[in-house]
A = this chain, B = another copy of it.
Amino acid sequence: MNKYKIVSLVLAIALIAALVQLVYNTKVAAPVADTSRNAVLENIFARKSVRSYTDQPVSREQLDTLLRAAMAAPSGRDMRPWKFIIVDEQALIDTLAVYLPKAKMLEEAQAAIVVCGDSSVVDSDGNPSRNWPFDCSAATENLLLAAESMGLGAVWTGVYPYPERVNAVKTALNLPDYIVPLNVIPIGYPKGEQKAKDKYNADNIHYNGW
Which residue from chain B places its CB closest to the CB of A140 in the assembled complex? B138
The copy count of this chain in the complex is: 2
Q: Is B22 a contact of A145 with CB atoms below 8 Å? A: no
Which residue from chain B places its CB closest to the CB of A40 in the assembled complex? B149
Q: For the complex, give the distance between the alpha carbons of A69 and B175 in Å.
A: 35
**Of B35, B138, B162, B173, which contacts A138 at CB under 8 A?**
B138
Q: Is A94 positioned at the interface, with any CB of B under 8 Å from its CB? A: no
Q: Is A206 a contact of B71 with CB atoms below 8 Å? A: no
For residue A118, give the distance in angstroms from its CB to the closest CB of chain B: 8
**Of B8, B140, B145, B156, which contacts A145 at CB under 8 A?**
B145
Q: Is A109 positioned at the interface, with any CB of B under 8 Å from its CB? A: no
For residue A95, give the distance in angstroms from its CB to the closest CB of chain B: 10
Interface of A, secondary structure class, is helix
- A interface size (C-beta, 8 A): 94
Q: Is A124 positioned at the interface, with any CB of B under 8 Å from its CB? A: no
Q: Is A210 a contact of B173 with CB atoms below 8 Å? A: yes
Q: Is A98 positioned at the interface, with any CB of B under 8 Å from its CB? A: no
Residues of chain A touching chain B, judged by Cβ–Cβ distance below 8 Å, are: 1-2, 4-5, 7-8, 11-12, 14-15, 18-19, 21-22, 25-26, 28-29, 32, 35-41, 43-45, 47, 49, 64-65, 67-69, 71-74, 76, 78, 80, 82-89, 92, 130-131, 133-135, 137-138, 140-142, 144-146, 148-151, 155-156, 158, 161-162, 172-176, 179, 182-183, 196-197, 199-201, 204-210
